[in-house]
Amino acid sequence: MNLRGIVAVSGRPGLFKLVGQNKVGYILESLDAQKTKIVANITNTKLASLEDITVYGEEEEIKLASIFDNITAKGSTPDLKENLRPYFLEVAPGHDQEKVYASDMKKIVTWYNLLKDLPLFTEDTPETPGTPAEVKLSEEKAAADKKPKSAATKAAGAKATTKTSAPAKKASMTSKKGV
């Protein structure tokens, strides 16, 4: 299963294919029938690559691709209005039942229903790193994971150096009356 280049965008329903990148953001094409193209701004939009998404497990995290494989082997998906917990116990054995919510299960089943008819669903994942935009997205994601720790220490260091400023000027003690 080739999930490379398929992303979920924060704040937008559905899935998107990463087409390219320009100086403003990533160019995305929706996977629905309309095939609308949007530009996701780099600074305020979060993208999650389906290839990197995992589900909380009791012992180790479960990759989304393996859950999709199990759903394919099972052959059918339940109605989203039903209780999905028993079904999800079959397709994702060992998931952490306290951390994986019903909304997460619905989202995974919805994503599966979107992807199952696409040709990339049946092809193998290539060993090449991907398009330049995909490589940049994975590099930015890795940098963002490391960034909060280093940015917090830099910000604390910057604040410490700016607190030592010159003392305030003394006020003039003379009055206008000339006393």
pLDDT at 63: 92
pTM for the model = 0.65
Phi, psi of 100 (to 5 degrees): -95, 110
Q: What percent of the chain has pLDDT over 70?
A: 66
111 CB-near residues (< 8 Å, 6+ apart): 8, 15, 50
Q: Cα–Cα distance between 61 and 53 in angstroms, integer?
A: 10
Q: Cα–Cα distance between 6 and 28 in angstroms, integer?
A: 9
Give the tokens for residue 9: 């965008």
pLDDT of 129 strictly over 80:
no
Q: At what angle do helices 102-115 and 64-74 cross, to 10 degrees?
A: 70
pLDDT band at 165; cut points 50, 70, 90: low
Residue closest to 102 by CA, chosen among 86, 89, 84:
84
* More confident of the two residues 62 and 178: 62
DSSP state, residue 5? T
Give the tokens for residue 64: 């989304």
* More confident of the two residues 143 and 150: 143
pLDDT at 156: 47
* More confident of the two residues 22 and 132: 22
pLDDT band at 62; cut points 50, 70, 90: very high
Section 18-40 average pLDDT: 84
pLDDT of 105 strictly over 50:
yes
pLDDT of 172 strictly over 90:
no
pLDDT band at 149; cut points 50, 70, 90: very low
CB 7 within 8 A of CB 21: no
Q: Which residue has the tokens 């995974």?
A: 108
